[in-house]
Amino acid sequence: MSTFGWAYVDCSGAADGSGAGPLRSVQFYIGSGNTSGSANFLYREASPGKVMVTGSLWVSGAIHADNYYIKNRMELNVTGSTYFGDDDTDVHIRTGSLTIAKTDNTKLLDVSPISQQTTVRGFAGSYKNVDGATATTVTADHVLGVSKTGNVVITIVSASLHGSGAMLVVKDELPSRGAFHIRLTCSAGNGYSIDGSRYFILTGSMPAISLYSNGANWFVF
């Protein structure tokens, strides 16, 4: 009987008082006071040590690992909640199509690498209420609804910061702004503009404007 490292093996009942099976095999009880091992269940001593399992592994509890690597897996079925990553800098890359569906198989999101198109059943962009006399956009903005009375100045940060393809929508939510206006101002810098101008004025009855970025400037569409 001996105790070592992470394993305890009782071989006192074996004929020669030792374990059996191939070299480096993890021992398991086979009855009559004997243990044995299998080439399908090995422990490699090289630092760091590795437990090598060939065949299926059934776990009734949770698996906790610093790294989790799956090779040549064709299908992964998971029930319950699943979490990926624990840091804002984590990157998760997958190759192939992606589909998100309800339990009745209604597709909510479908991504095709062949057509390079993303199809959504419904879309809701982020909404921010502008209730002050000044505001500055951030990269997370999509729809800005202006509810502040009087003159309002919104600074649109550089198109390069928002990135190519970014879109912004600004809407005056007041029934009447009277003689006042909403002024869109591009942040300072060479080439930062809205259709070639550093400023854009929204006046009239509940005006709106849609902008997109090409990574260098903003354009009305």
Q: Are 111 and 99 in contact (CB under 8 A)?
A: yes
Entry pTM:
0.69
Please report, for residues 44, 49, 75, the alpha-carbon distance to residue 9 in angstroms, rounded to integers and kept in the order given: 17, 18, 37
d(CA 174, CA 132): 13
Confidence of residue 46 (pLDDT cuts 50, 70, 90): confident
* Whether the predicted pLDDT of 5 surpasses 50: no
Same domain for 215 and 144, yes or no, is yes
Same domain for 12 and 83, yes or no, is yes
Predicted pLDDT at 23 = 83
Confidence of residue 1 (pLDDT cuts 50, 70, 90): very low
Q: Give the residue from 38, 70, 89 where a domain finishes.
A: 89
Q: Give the residue from 89, 116, 142 where a domain finishes.
A: 89
Taking the CA atoms of 132, 134, 139 and 143 in sequence, report the sign of the dihedral they define.
positive
The helix (run of H) or strand (run of E) holding residue 217 is none
Residue 117 lies in a domain: no
Residue 82 lies in a domain: yes
* Whether the predicted pLDDT of 200 surpasses 60: yes
Q: Give the residue from 62, 89, 116 where a domain finishes.
A: 89
The greatest distance separating any two alpha carbons of the chain, rounded to the nearest whole angstrom, comes to: 102
Residue 95 lies in a domain: no
Output the DSSP codes for 146-185. Answer: E---S-EEEEE--HHHH-TT-EEEEEE-SS--TT--EEEE
Query: Which CATH number does the domain housing residue 193 bear?
Result: 2.60.120.640
Q: Are 145 and 135 in contact (CB under 8 A)?
A: no
Confidence of residue 164 (pLDDT cuts 50, 70, 90): very high
Strands 182-186, 199-202: parallel, antiparallel or unpaired by DSSP?
antiparallel
Residue 115 lies in a domain: no
Q: What domain range includes position 165? A: 127-220
* Whether the predicted pLDDT of 72 surpasses 80: no
Same domain for 143 and 215, yes or no, is yes
Residue with tokens 């998971």: 78
Average pLDDT of the chain to the nearest whole number: 86
Same domain for 58 and 9, yes or no, is yes
Please give the residue that has the higher pLDDT: either 145 or 71. Answer: 145
Residue 100 lies in a domain: no
Which of 27-36, 61-70, 76-85, 142-151 is the most confident on average? 142-151
Number of residues assigned to the chain = 221
Q: Residue 24 CB: number of other CB atoms within 10 A?
A: 13
Predicted pLDDT at 31 = 82
Residue 96 lies in a domain: no
Confidence of residue 37 (pLDDT cuts 50, 70, 90): confident
How many domains are there within the chain?
A: 2
Residue 189 lies in a domain: yes
Tally of helices (H runs) and strands (E runs) in the chain: 1, 18
Q: Are 197 and 172 in contact (CB under 8 A)?
A: no
Mean pLDDT for the stretch of residues 45-54? 80
d(CA 211, CA 194): 8
Radius of gyration of the chain (CA): 31
Please give the residue that has the higher pLDDT: either 217 or 190. Answer: 217
Confidence of residue 16 (pLDDT cuts 50, 70, 90): low
Residue 19 lies in a domain: yes
